[in-house]
Amino acid sequence: MLKIPYSPQESRIFGNIQRPLITMRIFSKVKNIWIPIYETLADTGADITLIPRYLGEMIIGDITKGKHVEVKGIVPNAVLPGFIHTLKLEVFRKQFETKVLIADTDDARPIFGRFNSLDLFEVNFNKGKELIIN
Amino acid sequence: MQHSRFIDSYLNQFYYIRTVVNMKEKITKYEYVIKVNNKIVWHGLNPKEKYWEIKNKNPGKEVGIAWQSQEDVLVC
C-alpha cells in the first residue's frame, strides 16, 4: 500500500485548496532518460493522460508525428488540440506503456487520467486528504 | 493648458503601461519550474534546453519539472 498526501495550493476563492498531485515519470526517447513530472493532477474525470507541448517535445521530439485529435472538457466551445502518442510511464512505482495526449499548447496542466493509467490501479481518494494506492 | 496636456500625456503612458502589464500577467498565467532534489532552481516558459543543461550539471541528482499556474478552481 502506498499513501500520497494531497498538496496544499493557494486559491483566491478558497484561500487554500488541497489537490491530489502526484509525480509521473515519463521516459524520454530523445535522451533515453526518465523525466519526473511533479505536481501532476490525478484526475478521474479525465479520459486520458495529458502533458503540455514542451514536455512532449522533451520526451519524443516532434509531437506532430502522433495522431491529431481535438478533446473537449466542460468548458463550452473550448477545444484542446493535440497529438496522441504511446509513451512509457512510471507512476506509483509501476512502469507501463499508455496512450498520452500531448497538447498543442503549453497552457495545459499535466494530468494523470483514466485510460490505461489510473484504471491500472486501485486508488482511494481518501476524504480530500490523501491517495491510497493498493 | 500646456500643463494639462503634459498630465494627459503622462496619464496616457501610465494607462498604456498598466494595460501591457495586465496583458502580460494574463498571458503568463502559467510557467514551468525545474527542481533539483526537490529545490526550485529555475522557472520560466521555455524549459526544454534549460532542463538538459541543469540535468547535465547535476549528475546523480533528481532533476524534475513541474507546470504551475494560478488557477483558483480546477474543473477538468
Residue A34 contacts residue A26 (beta carbons within 8 Å): yes
Q: Which grid cell is A41? A: 493532477
Full-model pTM: 0.83
> What's the pLDDT band for A113 if we cut at 50, 70, 90?
very high
Minimum distance, in Å, between the CA of residue A108 and any CA atom of chain B: 9
CATH number (domain holding residue A116): 2.40.70.10
- Residue B51, classified by CB atoms within 10 Å of its CB into exposed (0-12), middle (13-18) or buried (19+), is buried
Q: How far is CA A130 from CA A7, A46, A49, in A?
A: 9, 19, 20
Q: What is the pLDDT of residues B43-70, one digit of tens each?
A: 999 898 899 999 999 999 999 999 988 7
pLDDT value of residue B32? 95
Sign of CA dihedral B13, B14, B17, B20: negative
Task: Name the β-bridge partners of A51.
Answer: A102
A13 touches chain B (CB under 8 A): yes
User: What does the pLDDT read at residue A63?
Assistant: 97
Residue A77: pLDDT band (50, 70, 90) is confident
What's the complex ipTM?
A: 0.88
Domain span holding position A43: 2-133
Reported confidence tier of residue A10, pLDDT bands at 50, 70, 90: confident
Q: How many domains does chain A have?
A: 1
Residues facing B32 on adjacent strands: B44, B67
Which range among A8-12, A62-66, A122-126, B36-40 shows the weakest confidence by mean pLDDT? A8-12
Task: State the pLDDT confidence band at A38, using cuts at 50, 70 and 90.
Answer: very high
SS3 A27: strand
**How high is the pLDDT of residue A85?**
98
* pLDDT of B28 above 60: no
For chain B, domain boundaries: 2-69
Helix, strand counts (H, E) of chain B: 2, 3
Nearest CB to B67; choose among A13, A35, A109: A109
Alpha-carbon distance B57 to nearest alpha carbon in chain A (angstroms): 15
More confident residue, B23 or B11: B11
